Each structure stands twice: as structure tokens, then as C-alpha cells.
Amino acid sequence: MNLKALTVRPALFVGMLALAFAGPVLAQQQPSSGLGSSWPTDAPDVSSMPGFHAYAWVKAGVKYVQINDAAGNVLVAVATSNGDFLALPMGRSAKDLQVPQDGSTPDDSGSGVTVYQDDTVQLTATPQSDGVMMFKAVSKCTNPVECTTHVNSN
């Protein structure tokens, strides 16, 4: 039996084993682009609140806003156009996102913190007594023609 073969095979095995364990870790840390990513590379972080990351995209006249936590976990995402909102079924807190079309009323009491805001959309986060973070998306535009122009021009 060749002594060289006996030392190369275990070294190869250890190297392959290290790659197998490192692969998933490296894959999780790699930035990626687009909606649903932990660290999107195609949109800047536009959060107005420390501890959250907010990303916004506009495509075909629809604005998409995604909120991540400090660790990059997707919490909620919403699509909006012409004052209409759609809570997207993604993120750890997807069930805790309220939009005007749900029949929920905007909370004007100031209890939430603004996580994202632009000329047409505001997203707030409000901690609940049970530890759940409630998110609300509301329209900030009072003129539908102006809102449509802003969304389509991006």
C-alpha cells in the first residue's frame, strides 16, 4: 500500500468536509439582490429607525417596500400603487402587517415608530403587550394624481 495515498485521502476528506459545512454559512452571508433578500444589493437601506433596515423598489408603477430586522431577517413587505396596498405574504411578521385595504384604521396616536416614509407611503412598527411587533402601512399622499405621478416617475 502506498503511504502517500494514505495521507492524501484523509486530507482530501477533511477538506471536502470543511467545504460542506462552510458552504451553507457562506451562502447565508452573501448579499443578494431583490425583494426577499436579507441584504439586497440593488436598493439602499432607507430606514428611518435604528434596528430596522428598509428597502424600496419601483417596477412597472408599483412600489415595493421591505422591512428587515437588524440581523437581516425579512419581517414584512408591501406593494403599493395609486393608494392601494397589498401586504405581501413574506417575512417573519407578515401576518402582523396591516394595510388600509384590510379595513384597519390608521393609528394616529403616535404609539408606533416610523420605520420607512417617503412622499406616498409610511410604514410604522408598534410593539404589542404580547411581544409581537405590529406593522402598519398607510398612504401619505392626499392627491391621487400626484401619487400616481410620483410612483410612475421612479
For residue 67, give the nearest of 152, 154, 137 by alpha carbon.
137
pLDDT in tens, 22-49: 555 554 555 578 999 999 999 999 999 9
Give 79-125 pLDDT, tens digit per residue: 999 889 999 999 999 999 999 988 765 555 557 899 999 999 999 99
pLDDT of amino acid 102: 85
List Cβ<8 Å contacts ≥24 apart for 39-44. Answer: 39/72, 40/66
pTM for the full predicted model: 0.71
